[in-house]
Amino acid sequence: MKQRQLISFDWALKRLLRSKANFEILDGFLSELLHDDVHILEILDSESNQDARYDKHNRVDLKVKNGQGELIIIELQYERELDYLQRLLYGTAKVITEHLSEGEPYSHVVKVISVSILYFDLGEGTDYIYRGTTTFKGLHTNDELHLNEGQRALFRRDSVTALFPEYYLIKVNRFDNIARNTLDEWIYFLKNEEIRDNFTARGLIKAKEQLDILKLPERERQSYEYYKDDLHYQASMVESTYGIGKWEGRQEGRQEGRQEGRQEGKVEMLTNLLQHRFGAIPEWASAKMAQADIPSLERWIMRILDAQSLDGVFLDKT
C-alpha cells in the first residue's frame, strides 16, 4: 500500500481546520454539500464541542457558525453504534438549548445543520449521502404546511423546513470512487485521503496545499502516524470484539447476558490496547478494570488512545 500524502480529514478537523487561515477548506466542503455559498465566521467551543474523544454522549468534532447565523455540526464517526440516530437528535437538541439564553423568545432558536461523516454502514439504504428534514403534511388533504407572511418576516425564513434541524449522513464506505460532480470529489477525498489533479471542487486546492503530510513538522508528523496506527488498531479491536454476529446475538439474549458480554468485551479491548500501547498492565489497573462499569471502561479506552503514558489514565473512575 502506498503512503498517503494527505492528512486525513479527522486529524485536520482536530488540529488544522480550526485556524481562520484554513476556513477556506471548510467553506468549500460545506458549500458543495449544502449547495450554498457558505462562509464560516468562527469556530464555537461549548460543552458539545470537546476535544476528548471519550465523551460518549456527544462527540462533536467541530461546530461552526456561518454567515447566516446558522450553526453547523461536523462529526466523524468510525465505530458502529445502533443508537447513532438518537445520538444525533440529542446532539442537535443540546446545541439548540446551549444557544438560547434564559428569557429569550423561541423565535431566537438557532438553525442547526448536522453533518455526519460515517465510516460504517448506518441502517439500510443504497445511497451514500442522505438528507433529513422536517415537514408537516395534512392528514386529509396531504398539503404541506407553509409559513404565513408574518412568520416569514419574524423568522426571516421561507419555509417550515428551514426552521428545524437538518441532517446530512455521508456513508463514506458506500461511495464507489467515481467522482460524478464536485461534491463527489470531496467524498473521494474523505474516503481515500487523496485529491486528484483534475478535481475542481471548492476548497480542495487549498486542502491539497495545507494537508500535505510532508509539510508537517517532524513532531506533528510522528504524532499523526501514531494516531493513524492507533485508529487502525482500535477498528480491528472493535471488529473482533463486536462482530456483527456477536452484536446480533447480544440483542437476542437476556439483558443480564448482554451487560456481561459487553463488560467482558470492553475489558478484553482495554487489556489489548494497554499491552499494545504501553507493553504491560500494572496490577492497580487490572484491579480497577475488574471493578469498573461499562461507561468507565469506554472512557478509559478513549483516554488510552489519547495518552502518551499511563499517568492519570485510570485516576478518574467516573
**Domain map of the chain by residue range?**
9-214, 216-306
The pLDDT of residue 8 is 76
- 10-residue mean pLDDT profile of the chain (318 residues): values are 63 75 88 89 59 42 77 74 84 88 86 87 89 96 95 91 93 92 95 90 89 70 66 54 48 53 68 68 70 66 59 53
For β-strands 62-66 and 112-118, DSSP reports them as unpaired
Q: For residue 253, what are the CA distances in angstroms to 172, 241, 257, 276?
A: 32, 17, 6, 32
The pLDDT of residue 181 is 96
The pLDDT of residue 49 is 43
Amino acid (1-letter code) at residue 63: K
| 282-288, Cβ contacts within 8 angstroms, sequence gap of 24 or more | 282/310, 284/314, 285/310, 285/313, 285/314, 288/314, 288/317
The pLDDT of residue 106 is 86
Which residues have CB under 8 Å from 109's CB, separation 6+?
Answer: 96, 100, 163
Residues β-bridged to residue 144 = 137
